[in-house]
């Protein structure tokens, strides 16, 4: 089973379709070619690709579920 993890976009480089995404304190570069996003947006990431834009409330609910809250 694979999980898609929510994260918050810290910065975007549209020229190369990459963003720096914060996953609860861990930052990773993510490909954003599949979604239209900007700094401050929340995304679901799977296998290094942002696959869906989320509201901040949705991102919090998903994170809480993954943490068992």
* Token reading at 20: 């720096």
Q: How many CA atoms lie within 13 A of 49 on its CB side?
A: 6
* CATH code, domain with 28: 2.30.30.140
Give the range of the structural domain holding residue 32, as residue numbers without chain letter.
Answer: 5-66
pLDDT tens for 52-61 read 999 999 998 8
Q: Residue 8 has which token pair?
A: 């918050």
Confidence at residue 65, expressed as pLDDT on a 0 to 100 scale: 86
Segment 18-61, tens digit of pLDDT: 999 999 899 999 999 999 999 999 999 998 999 999 999 999 88
Domain count, the chain: 1
What the block records as the tokens of 69 is 């809250």
- Helix, strand, coil percentages, rounded to 5, for the chain: 15, 45, 40
Mean pLDDT across 10-20: 97
Q: Report the predicted TM-score, pTM, of the whole model to 2 decimal places.
A: 0.87
């Amino acid at each position: 089973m694979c999980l898609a993890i929510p994260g918050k976009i810290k910065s975007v480089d549209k020229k190369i379709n990459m963003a720096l995404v914060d996953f609860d304190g861990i930052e990773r570069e993510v490909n954003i070619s599949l979604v239209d996003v900007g700094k401050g947006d929340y995304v679901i990431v799977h296998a290094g690709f942002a696959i869906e834009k989320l509201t901040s409330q949705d991102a919090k609910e998903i994170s809480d579920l993954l943490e068992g809250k």
